[in-house]
Amino acid sequence: MACAFATAGAQNPHTFEYNKKVANLNDITLSNESTNTEAITPTEKLEKSVQYGIENTNFHPDFLSPNFNPKEMRKIVREAILLAGGGVAILLQVANPGVGAGVNEHSNFAYRPLDRLRTTMTYVYCMAYGTPEEKKTIINMVHRAHAPIKGAGYTADDIDLQLWVAATLYAAGVDIYEKVFGKLDYATSEAVYQQYSVLASSLRVPPEMWPKTRKEFWEYWDKMIDTMEITPHAKNVANDLLHNKESPLWVRVNLPMVRLFTAEWLPPRMRDAYGLKSTKSHRALYKVYMAIIKTVYPVTPKFVRHFPLHYYLKDMRKRMKNMDHIIGPDQV
């Protein structure tokens, strides 16, 4: 799940520039009340991580209500085309040193990439479409899986890391959707932003840490993109992802396309740090692929476009019914 990500001051503006301009022109306050945003100590951060469990609902007091209906968010996450950008989303996540270290040291990513995909998609689909009980089950599984993931200078339950993960899922989903279907109008963009906050809430991110407006979100985003350094941990994950010899044949056959899209969609600074190339021939091929996708995908039958949604939800419910393993420490 990924997209073209813009860095501040880039010569060639990316799709995100549109979102940031609209947010700047139409800066409004969302429905939650802003609280203290000053820096907190590690002890206070830990206390907040414990305090904001599944009851933390951010903009949505009815998050676990049967009446919760994030219909605008659902329009985004149900589209299978979002999976095409999975490489970019993952590399952006592990660019955060804490996330990168956790994934590299505690996940058998190279040998079970499809399990990690299932984990991520099950989580996102459940937060958008699941029943209250299903959401509680998945949230608790995620938190239990995160508990043992810790090391020198990081822990998987760190709310700063969780905020970044949620931010990449929002930015990735919206951007790739707009690349294929066109720009969202302002009202829809605002609704999508508010509704996507449930991904942060369910990861125990306190309400005041999710940027109050889209303008503030892109300011946070640019700061993170401009300051993160690609560590050896992140490079190891990138190599496992983009040059994975342990994947099924159908995955390996598609890796050249994954590498192409990943290189073209990463911010130039990160693309260079990961050692990826964007040549003239690569960019020409990318334009051809995108022209085909923009023409064919929107007219593809919905049962095809939404197949991953229905498949992973069915798989989740089957596993819950049979009490099977859904999410474990090596899959988060």
Q: pLDDT tens digits, residue range 7-26?
A: 233 333 344 443 554 454 44
The residues pairing with 151 across neighbouring beta strands, listed in sequence order, are 154
pLDDT tens string 35-44: 444 454 433 4
Confidence of residue 46 (pLDDT cuts 50, 70, 90): very low
Query: Has residue 144 got a pLDDT over 90?
Result: no
C-alpha to C-alpha distance for 33 and 67, rounded to whole angstroms: 22
pLDDT tens string 247-305: 888 888 999 999 999 999 888 889 999 999 999 999 999 999 999 999 999 999 999 99
Whether residue 76 contacts residue 192, with contact meaning beta carbons closer than 8 Å, is answered with: yes
| pLDDT, position 10 | 35
- Model-level pTM? 0.78
C-alpha to C-alpha distance for 295 and 38, rounded to whole angstroms: 47
Of 18-27, 72-81, 173-182, 233-242, give the lowest mean pLDDT range: 18-27
Query: Has residue 243 got a pLDDT over 50?
Result: yes
Query: Has residue 236 got a pLDDT over 50?
Result: yes
Alpha helices in 202-306 (DSSP H): 214-227, 232-242, 249-265, 268-273, 280-296, 302-305
| pLDDT, position 13 | 35
Of 3-7, 221-225, 302-306, give the lowest mean pLDDT range: 3-7
- Residue 325 or 281, more confident: 281
| pLDDT, position 32 | 36
